[in-house]
Amino acid sequence: MARRTPPKPPETGDFTENIIDIDVSQEMEGSFLEYAYSVIYSRALPDARDGLKPVQRRILYMMSEMGLRPEKGHVKSARVVGEVMGKLHPHGDAAIYDAMVRMAQDFSLRLPLIDGHGNFGSLDAGPAAPRYTEARLAAAALTLTDHLDEDVVDFVPNYDNQLTQPEVLPAAFPNLLVNGATGIAVGMATNMAPHNLIEVIAAARHLIDHPDATLDDLMRFVPGPDLPTGGRIVGLDGIRDAYESGRGSFKTRAKVEVEQLSARRTGLIVTELPYTVSPEKVIEKIKDAVTAKKLQGISDIMDLTDRNHGLRLVIELKNGFNPQAIIQQLYKLTPMEDSFGINNVTLVDGQPKTLGLVELLSVYVSHRIDVVRRRTAFRLRKKQDRLHLVEGMLIAILDIDEVIQIIRTSDETAAARERLIAIYDLSELQANYILELRLRQLTKFSRIELEKEQDELRREIAELERILGSESVLRALVSDELAEVAAKYGTPRRTVLLESEAVSATVAKALAATSASSKAAPLALEIADDPCWVLLSSSGQIARTSSREPLLDSGGRVKHDVFRSVIATSARGEVAAVTSAGRMLRLQVLDMPVLPPTAGLPNLAGGVPAKEFITLLKGESLVGFVPIDAVVALGTKYGVVKRVTPEYPLNREDWEVIALKDKDSVVGAAAAKDDDELVFITEQAQLLHFAASAVRPQGRTAGGMAGIKLGAGDAVLSFTVVPAGDPSAVVVTVSGSTDALPGTAPGSAKVSDFTEYPAKGRATAGVRAHRFLKGEDVLLLAWAGPGPAKAASSAGVARALPTEHGRRDGSGIPLAQSIDEIGPTLHQSAAEEPPAATSDAGADAQPMLPESAE
C-alpha cells in the first residue's frame, strides 16, 4: 500500500495574511436584499406591462424565434425547454416546463397562450413528461410577440452576453388582467384573478379616450373577475376593494343544479367548481364529511367528467332530504365554496408595487401607446429610406445612357460612385443602389412600377407622420387595434357575479317561514311532512306538488293537464295504486318528483311515467290512485261493486282488494263516503247511479256485490264516484262504431248535467245516457264527475269537448279529433265554459268544433 505524504506547511513569507473584519448583521442584510431583489425581479413577479414573468416571456419569445406558429406543426416540449434553458433561462428544466404547462392549461389561464398536444395535466393530476408532450404557440400568443422586429421594445443581453432578449413583450392585449398571475417572492407575493378579455379591453379603450376615468367608470366595463372554470362569485364588496387598493377577497362557489336522476332518486349535478379546486379534492372532502357524520342526506357520489361534456359530479341524495339544505351544507363543509384573495403586486419600472384597476390599466395603456409610437417611427424610417432609394433610381432611369457611360468609363467602383454623386447630386446610399442595379430593372415597365411605388410611399409616409404628429390619432389607433383583438379572441363571460347569495323561490319561502329578519337562517335538512297533491295524468305521468294550494284552472290547455287521479296527502305520506287485476300497491309520496309551484294547473311534463313506480303484470293496467286510509269503492267490467275497508297489511307492498271472477277486471276506483254517488256507465250507453251507503264496506278478500244489471253483450265502460250534492257534476259520453278501424276518430261526444239522470236502485239496469246516431253502436269513452270536463289523447294532448250541455234528441255532437281519456277540470265553476283546445305547447286557443255541428 502506498504511503500518503502529508502536505508541506507553507513557509513564512510564502503568503500575505489579509483579514477583514465585517459586521455580520450588515453583511446578512446586504446579501439578503440582493437575493430578494433577484427573486422579485427575475423570477416571481410579473411585469405590469405584458403580465409575464421572465421565464414565461422567454418561453414565448424563444417559441416565436423557433417559428412554432399556430399554422405550423407541434414540436416536442423537451426541445422548447432545451432551447429556453440553453439560450435564455439558466435554471432547472422542471421550472421551465412547469411554466410552459400552465400557459397551455385552459383551466389555469382565461386565454391560453400555448397550444399543447398531449397530456398537459388536470386539476387532479400533473402533466406527462416533456418528452411525451408537444407544443406550439396559440393564436392569442402571436399578439404578444408581434412586431418585435420593428424596434417596439428594448432588447437586453442574456445571461452570458452572447444573445439578446426582449425586456418586455409588445402585448397587444392586457395579459396581466386577462390571465392573472400567481407568485411567491421574498417578503411579498402576488395573486391576481383572471378577467374577461372583452370586458378588460373595453375598459382599456375607455381609459384611452378618457384618461381621467374613475374606478366607477371602469367597473361599468369590468364588474368582476371571469374565472376559467366558471362558477359563481358571491359578494362584490371585496372585488371593489381589490380594484381600489389592490387587495381584497371574494367567495367563489360551484355551480350546482338539482336534477331528477330517476323516478325515485334526486341528485345534485356539479358542472363548475371554484377556481383551482379539483374534483378529487371535493369528492374526498364530501366522503370525509359523510363518514364523520357531519354531512347527511348523501347516498353516493360519482365523477362522470369527460373530455366531451366537461366537469360533471353527480351527488345522489337520500329520499326525504331537502336538496337546498344539503347544498348549503356542501358550501360550508367542502371546497365547493372557496375564498380567493386578490393581491395585485406587480413590477412597475423594475419596482414591486401594489396597484388597483385604474393603475394597472394605465400602466398597460402607456406601454401600448409607446409600442405603437415606436413601431410607427420605425416604419416611417423604413418608408423614408425606401423612398430615398426609389427617387435615386428614377433619376438614374431618366438618364440611363449617361449613367451607364459614367460607370463604364470609371476605373473602379469608388470612382463611379463619386462621379454619380457629383453629377446627379445623389447620396452615397443612392449611388450604391444604382451601382447594384440589374439590367432587367432598366425596362420601361420597371420605371412605371417605381413611380407607382413612389406615390404609394409618399401616401404612407404622410399617414405615419400624421399618426406621430397627433396624440389623439395615435391613441385612436391603439384603441382600434385593441378592438380587433377583442373581436377575434373574445369569448362570453363564464363566471356569474352575484351581489349576495342567490336564493331560489323554494329556498326563499323556507327561509321566510324560518326567519322573517334574516336570509341566512339554515334550512331544515329533512323535508317536512307538508300537505300536497299527488297527481296522475291521463298520459300516465306521476308527480306531487310542493303544497296543497287549490289547483285552479288557468284557462289554457297544455300537455298532461287532464288528470285521472288527484289525491290529497302529505309529503311523507302514502297513496295506493289500483290495477285492473284488483291489486293495490303502496306508493311513497316522498319518492315522487316535485312540481314547481304555478299559478294555475301544474304541468305534469315535469313528472315521470307511472311504470317507473308500478310493476304491472302481463295484461294488467293502472286504474288510478286512491287514498290508502279511506274507504275505496271499486267497479268491475261485469258490473260488480265493492267498498273496501282500509285494513291493509303493514308488512307488504301490494295485495288484492277484490276477488274477481274469471275474465272480470276493475274499471274504476275512488274514495267514496256514504253520501257520495256511485256511477256505472256501460258500453251500450246505460247509466246507473246510487248512494254509496247502499254498498256496505267489506274486507279486502271479499268479491263484492251486484252493482248494475247488464244486458246481453254489454259491459261496464266507466265507474266513478260523484261527490254528494255537487252542482257542477256532468256526464260525458263519446260514441263510435265497433266496425271502425283502430285509431280512427269517434263518432260524437255529449256533455250533460248529472242531475238529469235519476237515481235507481243497486243491481238495476239504470237509464239511457246517449242515443246513437247512424253508424254508431257503442260508447268508446264515458265519465261522470265534477265539471266542466276535459278530454285528452293518449299522448296527453288536450282535446275539445262540446261547449253546450245536453241535446233534445239525446245524441252527441260529431268530434273533429280522437280522444282517449276524460277527466275533470279541477276547482272550476260549472257555469264557466271549458276553454278551447290548444297544441302541445299550449298555444293560442283554437275552436275544434264548427258551429254547424251544433
Catalytic residues: 132
Using only the alpha carbons of the chain, give its radius of gyration. 43
Cell readout for 543 is 308527480
Spatial distance between the Cα atoms of 211 and 234, rounded to a whole number of angstroms: 31
- Cell 261547449, residue? 803
Strand 232-234 and strand 496-498: pairing?
A: parallel
3-state DSSP call for residue 86? helix
- Cell 355551480, residue? 255
844-849: long-range pairs with CB below 8 Å, 24+: 845/556, 845/557, 847/800, 848/799, 848/800, 848/816, 848/817, 849/800, 849/802, 849/803, 849/813, 849/815, 849/816
Q: H-type helices in 495-627, by residue range?
A: 505-514
DSSP 738-786: TTSPTTPPPSEEEEEEGGGS----TTB--EE-----TT--EEEEEEEEE
Spatial distance between the Cα atoms of 261 and 298, rounded to a whole number of angstroms: 14
By the 8 A CB rule, do 51 and 177 touch? yes
Q: Dihedral of the CA atoms 479, 480, 485, 488 (nearest 10)?
A: 150
In this structure, how many other beta carbons lie within 10 angstroms of the beta carbon of residue 679? 28
Spatial distance between the Cα atoms of 368 and 474, rounded to a whole number of angstroms: 10
CA angle, 734 then 740 then 745, to 5°: 50
N-term to C-term CA, the chain: 131
Cell readout for 282 is 371535493
Q: Dihedral of the CA atoms 777, 780, 783, 789 (nearest 10)?
A: -110
Spatial distance between the Cα atoms of 735 and 495, rounded to a whole number of angstroms: 60
Non-local (6+) Cβ contacts of 823 within 8 A are 538, 562, 563, 564, 783, 789, 790, 792
DSSP 55-69: HHHHHHHHHHHTT--
Tell me how long the chain is.
854
Identify the helix (H) or strand (E) that includes residue 309. Answer: none
Spatial distance between the Cα atoms of 581 and 636, rounded to a whole number of angstroms: 10
Name the residue among 140, 93, 91 with its Cα closest to residue 115: 140
Angle at which helices 197-209 and 471-489 pack, to 10 degrees? 170
Q: What are phi and psi of 583, to 5 degrees?
A: -95, 150
Cell readout for 440 is 432587367
Q: How far is CA 180 from CA 184, 225, 472, in A?
A: 14, 9, 30
Spatial distance between the Cα atoms of 642 and 698, rounded to a whole number of angstroms: 7
Cell readout for 617 is 303484470
Identify the helix (H) or strand (E) that includes residue 25. Answer: helix 24-39
By the 8 A CB rule, do 702 and 661 touch? no
Q: Residue 751 burial (CB < 10 Å; 0-12/13-18/19+)?
A: buried
Spatial distance between the Cα atoms of 770 and 752, rounded to a whole number of angstroms: 10
Spatial distance between the Cα atoms of 119 and 129, rounded to a whole number of angstroms: 9
Residue type, 557: R
